[in-house]
Amino acid sequence: MPLLPYCIIPADAEADLPAVGVRESAVEVLAVDRLRCLYSVLPDFSLVSAPDLQREALRFDAVIRELLAKTAVIPFRFPTLLGTADELRGFMAEHLHQYSAAIKRLADGVQMELRIEHASFATAADSGAAYLQARATATRALSQTAEHARAAAGGLMREWLTRNTARGLRCYALVPRELTAEFQTRMRSLSTPEGVTIVVSGPWPAAEFLDDTAQHR
Amino acid sequence: MPENNNVVVLDRLGDDEVSLLEILDHVVNAGVVIHGSLVISLAGVDLLYVGLNVVLTAVETALQHMRYDVPTAAKPRRALP
């Protein structure tokens, strides 16, 4: 029967296990050395509609979020299915060193995100020159906003990443769990240039701060 | 340069459509990928790790034609070298 893994947490995590997960199935634990992997056995897993997918994705997220409130979490992508517990155990054993190091490094850090967008990125220009001009202006505004946000976060964060997106920038801050409210407060007070919007979200598992070997991209 | 305060903080995730999309985007696009895991196929399209929009589109396509369940006895793919 298919197994759906949720995430990896430290073996000594002081967190109660969520009672139910995807498809209202029990959440079970696989212990491998210093790590635990939480998963559900799904005898009947089907995604026959967008609402099904949405509902089960939210249940998956609820499991992750409940654990993230108490401990470091390395999530799997949804939906990941494996055939047997032995496959999952084998995967964990093969990557034990990478995930143990990642869990230790992330410790009590969570990921806060800023989606910084400029209205002109979605607007068609009348001419190539006008497009380039608008794009350059928008790019400068986005970069300045990201820098201001990073400065405002200051000593709250351990690490900061910025990535380009189709509509602007996405910034990720690794923040101690207990400082997420302060981070949100500082972001609320940011001023934004004309046309720039910021959406702040989190806390999320610090997936962006896993190195590529841990994410297996 | 004129300044505003166009900042939205989603501090109660899941309460509105914007935060719902953020959640769905994260669970589908962020996290560990396991090579060799089972592939979920919908309407003949392999959907191991794809963007949320593609997943929803493929689901809608499948709905137009048939009901499709993941076979419980499906063999896993060979792990990539």
Q: Report whether pLDDT(B52) > 70.
A: no
- Calculate helix-pair angle for B52-65, A50-68, nearest 10 degrees: 140
Which residues make Cβ contacts (< 8 Å) with residue B8, sequence separation at least 6?
Answer: A197, A198, A199, A200, B18
CB of B50 within 8 Å of a chain A CB? The answer is no
Task: Report which residue type is found at B47.
Answer: L
Residues of B with CB below 8 A from A74's CB?
A: 31-32
Residue of B nearest to A80 (CA): B37
- CB contact under 8 Å between A83 and B1, yes or no, is no
pLDDT mean for each 10 residues of chain A (217 residues): 90 91 93 95 68 83 94 90 87 92 91 92 69 86 95 94 91 96 95 92 92 55
pTM: 0.80
Question: How many of the other CB atoms lie within 10 Å of CB of A86?
Answer: 10
Nearest to A50 by CA among B60, B23, B61, B24: B60
Does the beta-carbon distance from A46 to B30 stay under 8 Å? no
Q: What is the per-residue pLDDT for B15?
A: 64
Give the pair of three-digit tokens for residue A38.
Answer: 């939480």
Residue A158: per-residue pLDDT: 94
Q: Sorting pLDDT into bands at 50, 70 and 90, what band is B30?
A: confident
Please give the ipTM for the structure prediction.
Answer: 0.82
Nearest to A160 by CA among A168, A152, A96: A152
What is residue A87's predicted lDDT score, i.e. its pLDDT? Answer: 87
Residues in chain A: 217
CA distance A187 to A198: 9
B39 pLDDT band, cuts 50/70/90, is very low
The first and second tokens of residue A110, run together, are 């969570």
